[in-house]
Structure 1
């Protein structure tokens, strides 16, 4: 049994300016998309995308991630509270970002950018689908450093069971943030990479694999993650968490996109 190592949530402090680790992980994620995306084009080439396009898309992707993640959290998780406290929507420093909302925001950003550049949505969608799991890994590490989104109670005999004092209990829990960093991040990245390297893929297939893979991973991992206090009624009524319920349509859309990709004749992906 392990004790949660107390981290200072502030990574950098310069007088009144404080940069939190969670915000820093978002910044690193955006830089990762920029660096890895441009490196891939420079190293392997791409029939449509250019390095400048990656630079230009970063604004759309970052804005979609932040706005989608925040608005999605407010609408999907605590709509009644934020409808009565609309000014609290901007208080991102209090926490509250939704991946499902974030991915919707990114998709809107991809749509707007590809429409401007007159290219197919999945040319860019498939390109970033490989990189997103690495960004998710950084985000989950940020959750762990912040000491939030801890797991459900586990057996005291579990070697990596961890006590999170900030949870209000000294009983060991699953370090679910690290489970997610490993599964949604490293494992999902590896699966998509192998899928793309085995043979040439049609447009949409990589995006479909990402949506299905993340949805399945999130559904399973929610069994190890403590549900939000405000969502206990949903868990009691359905036996599932909000994260699991929101993963169902993601998996369904992923299957539809993948099947569409199988029938697509275009292979402009890499």
Structure 2
């Protein structure tokens, strides 16, 4: 049975101040990463680093997520519009963040931080990897609450009769209707034809919950260098590649090849390759031993 999406994206409204659920999801993701990271630091999983050093790592990583995510979105998904209007990159309130751009931003931050602390970059990456999925999961929930990045229509497929009707994805005149009128049409069954995959929730489950459980379990004891990072890259690349089959491609890009290849799949393929390579490389790599505080 389809569900009508009618969630207010604004969590708190105090006069001109409006706090969106998407922003709160980001905060929850960072809070979860901070909590888990401090536990791992105190368990000695990053020898020679104290709470202050970890705080610096988290700060620079957060900058990498935000700056890299925004710049990556512009370069990967909206470069044509950026050339027409360069100030577009600063209009973050209009939406547009890229995981792959955020990942590159975090990598830059980690490389810089690791060199300052004289640590092997992959020791830091292996430490950080289990902290990331919670943020991915909360972020995708934020996408769902905001009614954005929806999936493909389910009507006429194996999933017929299932899905979510996203008001922002509806054609006119439905897209302009108020919530009460839209509810009336939905209850009559007229809008069932516009039900879509809640791909945001699929990603929240796979990239968030499943990856979090697997990586925390896998890293519960010391693993060879490259192993945890490799598993992260492999899992994310595979999960993102698969979900793209039921996710609506970005309107400004569409499909890039063969009538089904999306930008998300193109960007995720190198992660799958890197993940396999790093896991193979970990077989002969040293294992960093913890130094509990």
| Alignment TM-score, normalising by the size of structure 2 | 0.85
Q: Is the 8 A contact 1:203 1:268 kept in 2?
A: no
Aligned counterparts, 1:1-270, within 5 A: 1-42=1-42, 44-46=43-45, 47-155=47-155, 158=160, 160-169=162-171, 170=191, 171-197=194-220, 200-235=222-257, 237=258, 239-268=260-289
Q: Is the 8 A contact 2:5 2:164 kept in 1?
A: no
Coordinate RMSD, CA, aligned: 1.9
The separation in 2 between residues aligned to 1:159 and 1:187, in whole angstroms, is 26
* 1:192 to 1:233, Cα distance in 2 relative to 1, 3 A: closer
The separation in 2 between residues aligned to 1:245 and 1:269, in whole angstroms, is 37
Q: Is the 8 A contact 1:203 1:261 kept in 2?
A: yes
Equivalent position SS for 1:12: strand
Q: Aligned-pair distance for 1:233? A: 4.8
Q: Is the 8 A contact 2:154 2:161 kept in 1?
A: no
| Alignment TM-score, normalising by the size of structure 1 | 0.92
Equivalent position SS for 1:173: coil
Q: Is the 8 A contact 1:25 1:138 kept in 2?
A: yes
Q: Is the 8 A contact 1:126 1:269 kept in 2?
A: no
* Alignment gaps of 5+ in structure 2: 172-190
Q: Is the 8 A contact 1:64 1:102 kept in 2?
A: yes
Equivalent position SS for 1:11: strand
* 1:203 to 1:8, Cα distance in 2 relative to 1, 3 A: same
Q: Per chain length, whose mean CA-contact separation is higher, i.e. which structure has more relative contact order (CA < 8 Å, sep 6+)? A: 2
The separation in 2 between residues aligned to 1:210 and 1:67, in whole angstroms, is 22
Aligned pair count reads: 267
Q: Aligned-pair distance for 1:66? A: 0.4
Cα deviation, 1:55-87, whole Å, max 9, x if unaligned, reads 111210110000100000000111111122110
Equivalent position SS for 2:40: helix
